A and B are shown apart, each in its own frame.
Chain A
Amino acid sequence: MVIGEGKPIEEVLSMISDKKKILVVGCRGCVTVCSAGGEKEVSILSSAIRLAREKEGNPIEIREETIERQCDNEYVEELRGYIDEYDAVLSMACGVGVQFLAERYRKIPIYPALNTTFIGGTLEQGVWVERCQACGNCILDKTGGICPVARCSKSLMNGPCGGSSNGKCEINPEIDCVWQLIYDRLKELGTLEIFEEVVPIKDWSTSRDGGPRRIDREDLKL
Chain B
Amino acid sequence: MFGIEDPWVYTPYILSILSALLCVGWGIINWNKDDSVNEPEDEVRHWAEEEDRVEDEL
Chain B binds chain A: no
Binding site for B on A (CB under 8 A): none
Binding site for A on B (CB under 8 A): none
